[in-house]
């Protein structure tokens, strides 16, 4: 346990998990934004008829960071209260990832937009989930 963790009463390793998760969230945001920009340049319009507007490329970073940080909060809670936090984290986040794949199909975008949105969800999950799960396993 670091001195900082001891001062504020954090269980050993949770500070490291938080930092690892935040870094993973930023990396995931950069990767998804870059992929969205490439898809946009290739002709994917990201127009979602339900809202009547196109999703701005920069919006992908915001949404990715927000939901990645929700995942980090889940990891911290499991790290604090679960006997097997890494295993539970994988179960929870894989289920949440599956649920996150539904809205692109329900939003009414064209096939390219829907496929790209699903792909971007999977890219973000592929960046964040293994890194945070590994951090939960490391003592």
Under DSSP, is residue 139 helix (H, G, I), strand (E, B) or coil?
Answer: coil
Tell me the average pLDDT across 15-23: 95
| Residue 8: pLDDT over 80 | no
Share of the chain above pLDDT 70, in %: 89
Q: What is the predicted pLDDT for the residue at 114? A: 96
| Residue 5: pLDDT over 50 | no
Q: What is the predicted pLDDT for the residue at 53? A: 84
Question: How far is residue 20's CA from residue 89's CA, in Å, rounded to a whole number?
Answer: 15
DSSP state of 110: -
- In this prediction the pTM is 0.87
DSSP-assigned letters across all residues of 33-57: HHHHHHHHHTT---EETTTTEEPPH
């Amino acid at each position: 346990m670091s001195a900082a963790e001891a001062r504020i009463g954090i269980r050993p390793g949770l500070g490291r998990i938080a930092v690892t998760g935040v870094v993973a969230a930023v990396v995931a945001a950069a990767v998804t934004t870059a992929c969205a920009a490439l898809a946009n340049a290739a002709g994917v319009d990201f127009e979602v008829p339900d809202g009547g507007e196109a999703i701005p490329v920069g919006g992908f970073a915001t949404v990715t960071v927000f939901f990645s940080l929700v995942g980090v909060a889940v990891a911290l809670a499991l790290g604090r209260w679960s006997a097997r936090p890494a295993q539970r984290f994988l179960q929870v986040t894989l289920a949440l990832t599956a649920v996150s794949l539904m809205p692109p199909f329900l939003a009414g975008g064209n096939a390219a937009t829907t496929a790209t949105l699903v792909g971007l969800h999977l890219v973000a999950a592929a960046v964040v989930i293994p890194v945070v799960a590994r951090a939960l396993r490391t003592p």
